[in-house]
Chains A and B, each alone.
Chain A
Amino acid sequence: MSQPRSSYAVGTGLFIVLGFAALAYLATQTSSVANVHQGDSYTIDAQFTNIGQLKERAPVKIAGVRVGQVQSIALTPGHDVADVKMSIDKRYDQIPQDSVATIFTSGLLGDQYVGIDYGTAKQVVAAGGTLARTKSTQPLEEMLGKFFGAGGVVDNVGGSYTVTADFTNVGTLSVGAPVKMAGVVIGSVQAVRVDPVKLNARVVLAIDKRYNQIPDDSAAAVFTSGLIGSQYVAIQPGGSPDALKNGDEMILTQSAMQLEDLIGKFLVNGSPGDKKDAGADKK
């Protein structure tokens, strides 16, 4: 008909086409279509003693490749194990019956997923079948605990005795921090204060009475649990026949290492750019 009407029609048509093109772009290019794609799949069960942060619709992977997703998570009635139902793509129906289902975490802080490691059995898991062999999630705390020997609250029933130690630098050591020997907690830091005369940090350590055989030439050091953990006092036994008594002072001490110093020792050369920056900062 008239000219302006048809130009409206063309403009509107273009607008609608552009809008839907944008939608198609968002849906296909910026999101994983696999997340919605629900082809033919079959369900298998696995029972875990601890599923950690596993969620429904979390991926199921074999050799790192996504083959399905977690369908449901429920407690098995009458048992304290979690029953995880996984729907696996029909194309991957050759999973051996003795395969191991493990709950993994992607990276340190990532989401959790179920990984399946193939076994060697000839029989494959049928639809609705169960993977008998599972490995549950390892709480990060437990894993770190194994590394650093932390944990184990000190039992104060037997009472404690106090010794003092002077450090030139206690870092971020705070009252209540553990005192450890050979990685085992034997007491806690009772007080941290500055000696007004010697101008260093005087730390009062309360040590459990059961550990009254610590040689009096033992050394005390301020260590850090892990890279970003809290600081604690470690006692390294010496060779003296006399034991530390209440109110004694520990002579040999090693102050807190600053992470910066430590790294600086590794990177002796450093990068010239960094040094220049540091110099500029000081000015």
Chain B
Amino acid sequence: MSARLRKRNNAVLQSLAQIGACALFLLTLLAAIPRSFRYFRETSRQLWFVGAMSLTIIMVCGLFVGMVLMLQLYHVLSIFGGTSASGMVVALSVYRELGPVVTALLFAGRAGTAITAEIGLMRATDQISAMEMMAVDPIAYVATPRFLAGLIAMPLLCCVFCAMAIFGGHLVGVTWLGIDNGTFWANMTAVVDVRTDIVNGVLLKSLAFGAVVSLIAVFQGFTTPATSEGVAYATTRTVVASSIAILALDFVLTAFLM
């Protein structure tokens, strides 16, 4: 009994320690930002890797999310004869919730895992130690550029995702289901507000998610046991922890921003 209790206490303490270590790691990352300006090229290379290389999956997924959303809404709204409102519902739901959240989940799966695995392998093959030997700060050279790249890439990816979703909704709604083109845009522009929907919804949320996903990915890479098993474990943890953090943070952000 007491052994089990101790074990549970241990688990609680461990997760607390994990959160604390993650927060301290964030401070280290932020403190290293001025030093990492020297490695500007590395940041831009990471931006290319996590941003530009994620474009395909983001665009395809955005297109399909918009299309399926429109298809579903059309069938429900046709019961009430309100199909002309479906464009605006697609826009609002994508801007406020689906865009940032789905982009962040995809980003965690596409870029977060790659970052964790790369850094984990760097540690497993002693590249990090080698950098320290050469007086290169691994935080400023490896961690911060990836964190910054994620921070910059997420809002941009989210914008692309939303634009593709609108395009997909337009494709299904106007081209296939025959909603009037003018009504589609007019209803949308009537309700979408730049401040509450695009700045608060798309940009702010995706910036927060980008920070959380990149932080978790880099942190997991840096703290994983430097073995091949440890890298596999850390990669899984990145996806799990990021997904939970994204969805929980989404609720909190929505509650505050609405």
Contacts and interface: CB of A to CB of B under 8 A. Distances in A.
A80 B155 CA distance: 47
B189 A30 contact: yes
Nearest to B88: A30
B157 A26 contact: no
A30 B192 contact: yes
* Residue among A8, A12, A14, A29 with most chain B CB within 10 A: A12
Interface string B156-184: 11011011001000000000000000000
Interface string A1-16: 0000100110110111
A211 interface: no
A11 B194 contact: no
Interface string B180-209: 000001001110111101100011000000
B194 A19 contact: no
A31 B197 contact: yes
Interface in A9-58: 9, 11-12, 14-16, 18-20, 22-23, 25-27, 29-33, 35-36
Contacts of B202: 23, 26
A31 B189 contact: yes
Interface in B28-84: 41, 44-45, 47-48, 51-53, 55
Contact of B193 (A11, A23, A35): A35
Given A12-B52, A27-B198, A18 B160 contact: yes
* Residue among A5, A8, A36 with most chain B CB within 10 A: A8
Contacts of B95: 26
A interface residue count range (under 10 / 10 to 19 / 20 to 34 / 35 or more): 20 to 34
Contacts of A25: 163
A19 B156 contact: yes
Interface in B131-156: 153, 155-156
Contacts of B218: none
A20 B48 contact: no
Nearest to B43: A12
B98 interface: no
A19 B157 contact: yes
Contact of B52 (A11, A22, A30): A11
A30 B44 contact: no
A20 to B, nearest CB: 7
A5 B41 contact: yes
Nearest to B166: A30
A15 B193 contact: no
Given A14-B52, A15-B51, A31-B194, A8 B156 contact: no
B189 A19 contact: no
* Residue among A14, A32, A33 with most chain B CB within 10 A: A32
A15 B192 contact: no
Nearest to B50: A15
25 contacts: A9-B48, A11-B48, A12-B44, A12-B51, A15-B48, A15-B156, A16-B47, A19-B155, A22-B156, A22-B159, A23-B198, A25-B163, A26-B95, A26-B162, A26-B198, A30-B185, A30-B188, A31-B188, A31-B189, A31-B193, A31-B194, A31-B197, A35-B194, A36-B194, A36-B195
Given A16-B156, A35-B194, 17 more contacts: A8-B45, A11-B48, A11-B53, A12-B44, A12-B47, A12-B52, A14-B52, A16-B51, A22-B156, A22-B159, A22-B162, A26-B159, A29-B189, A30-B166, A30-B188, A32-B190, A35-B193
Interface of A: 5, 8-9, 11-12, 14-16, 18-20, 22-23, 25-27, 29-33, 35-36
